[in-house]
Amino acid sequence: MFLDDKPFGRDADHRGYAGFRGRCVPISRQIINVIGCALAIPLYYLTTAHSRYPVTLDIVITIALTEFNRYVIEGRRSAFHGRYLGFSEHDFEGSTEKEHHIPDIEKRPTSAKLKCLAAVVGWREDPALYARALESYKTSKACVFLLAGIDGDEEEDQDMVKVFKKTYPERSAVIQIPEPFGPIAERVRSQALAQMRRQDEPLDGAEADAIAMQYCVELAKSILVQHNLGIGAPGGVRHLCLKQRHMHKKGIMFTAYIFSLVIADILGVEFLWSSDSDTIVFPDSLERTINTIAHDPNAGGASSGLVIHNSQETTITKLASAVYWGELYLTRSTPACTGTSDCQSGPSTAFRLAALPEILVPWYLQKALGKRMIVNEDRHLTTNLLLRGWKVIFASDVLTATDTPTTMARWLKQQVRWARATHIESLLHPRVYATSHPLLFYGMAKREFGPAIGAIAIIWYFFTSQQLIVFSASDLLFRVLVGFVYNFLRNPDRLTGKGLLWVAPSILFYYVPLPAVHLWSMLTMGADGWGTTMRASGERARKESLRKAWFETGFFVAWMGILGGVAAKALGIYFCMVWHERMAATLVGTMVGAFLAWNITIGAS
């Protein structure tokens, strides 16, 4: 059943989730981590302000960490296979350093295999894309049960139900959930705290969370019993669709995860794969991602790398595909080698089910800046794991295919939404740096402060003509060349010849708006809403108001105006224009830059 021989979420007396407590990071370890974080600040300063080639040095450090992460995850797989096949540390006693290795398991007649439950959630997805997503799980080597969660029960939501029934006509069922489990958990938790107050007991939020969790689990069990699905029995249901009234992605994820815990307990499955309705998995995506955490009982989650399956749809998708290839693969690898990946990407996430019971209720009820948060679901799940001492792995050599926005406006909205979630998790949960390796703090400092400093420097130059930062063209060129060569040689996503042609323009596509995205998302951290509409035809046809369009992408218009003015001002200084000529050139450059940005964002919508 479970590799650590402990059922998830149960204590030794089998009293249920109310007795569950997760891992605790020792105080001594937390002190060491805080000291490491303090040392990371001068280290980052030395590699930037006191380096002739700071950008090139940064990419070299990132590549080194990426390679080390690849080495670590291969070691994790080898350890798992060795344990599965009965090898132990005693088999290697007396070996020399060069001989100390796991035997070549590829030559063995059997290999380790893991089984997991897959939860796929979505709302008003394009039917054709949803069908492709569900179909892809049929070839998965590890999936033994598929749970589809649909966030909506109105007429427009029936398209997804029909796709599910058509894709899995046998051994499948559809259940209408009377009330989403999120509000139920919130209500039960409030009642538990109220009872503690009445009895003059100390308010214990963790105990109230556990009581709410136990109630939801028992409710899920009763619903499954009522429908008599025969899960785990010969001929029983293996594909289940849950639908509930429309809330948000976090709402359907919470319900799906509760049912996943119950179903996995029935099947004796230890791992959960979580994905979106626009994601296509490859035959080995689930198994090779889970293999990286299977051997280590302290590893609570993992995620795979991502590629774009609609890369040929528009110019924007071609550029986005090159961005995923050249930038995101390296960026996500920075802290991952220490088991502190700070974002389990929503389309391709695996969990050890033992890690979920304690974190689901506080994750669902998260508040930031006085507001309930609903759009940072993947990052906050990761933060909750790290806060409780679980390791989070990035399986960078495994690929899963996801969808990307097809227009500039939708791409910018997606980037702002992701950036807001990043700021919230990076800046509003400082305790995570005490429970995690200092490399997590180093990656955060580089990600949070670098683009902000760049944005401020450019705006300062626009208004004062004074340079706060000196940019080196040779440094930027070396950085691009080093990154390109490394990705060409080592990136698991093997771009074709045509795809490689988009790499150079993708660098401008990603980095030109990055400072503005970073700054605007930081100033609007408390903004909620998904930004982009879903891909169903009815949702795509909805038109947003001009006021909303300006709020969501107007920052890009202003930023491109500033960049246009900065370019014109720099040219004016280079050609020794007089003051009034430089002012005129700056004004024209600002207007041209702003108009072009408006034309491809607000004007296009």
Residue-wise pLDDT for 169-205, tens only, equals 999 999 999 999 999 999 999 999 999 899 888 888 8
φ/ψ of residue 584, rounded to 5: -65, -45
pLDDT at residue 490, rounded to an integer:
93
Tell me what pLDDT residue 497 has: 82
Is the per-residue pLDDT at 527 higher than 90?
no
List alpha helices for 388-513, DSSP H. 408-427, 438-464, 473-490, 497-500, 503-511
Task: Report d(CA 90, CA 531) in Å as an integer.
Answer: 55
pLDDT value of residue 335: 86
Angle at 78 between CA 76 and CA 80, to 5 degrees: 70
For the segment 37-92, what is each residue's pLDDT rounded down to a tens digit?
A: 999 888 888 888 777 888 999 999 999 999 999 999 999 999 988 865 554 434 43
| pLDDT above 70: residue 536 | no
- Please, are residues 510 and 330 in contact by the beta-carbon 8 Å criterion? no
Q: How confident is the model at residue 533 (pLDDT cuts 50, 70, 90)?
A: low
- Prediction pTM value: 0.88
Residue 386 to residues 139, 358, 436, 500, Cα–Cα distance (Å): 32, 12, 7, 36
The tens digit of pLDDT for each residue in 389-425 reads 999 999 999 999 999 999 999 999 999 999 999 999 9
Does pLDDT of 516 surpass 70?
Answer: yes
CA distance 414 to 306: 16
Check pLDDT > 80 for residue 498.
Answer: yes
Please give the Cα distance from 112 to 87 (Å, whole number): 12
The whole-angstrom separation of Cα 1 and Cα 267 is 9
Mean pLDDT, to the nearest integer, of 542-567?
Answer: 90
Tell me the mean pLDDT in the region 304-310.
94
Of all residues in the chain, the percent with pLDDT exceeding 70 is: 89
Q: Report the alpha-carbon distance of residue 296 to residue 299 in Å, rounded.
A: 5
Residues pairing with 394 in the sheet: 303
Distances (CA, A) of 589 to 457, 558, 562, 581: 18, 12, 8, 12
Residue 537 has pLDDT above 70, yes or no: no
Structure confidence at residue 85 (pLDDT): 52
Q: Distance between CA 227 and CA 173 in Å, rounded?
A: 9
Residue 214 near residue 208 (C-beta atoms within 8 A): no
pLDDT in tens, 118-175: 999 999 999 999 999 999 999 998 999 999 999 999 999 999 999 999 999 999 999 9
Whole-angstrom distance, CA of residue 150 vs CA of residue 161:
8
* Of residues 231, 234, 252, 235, the one with CA closest to residue 243: 252
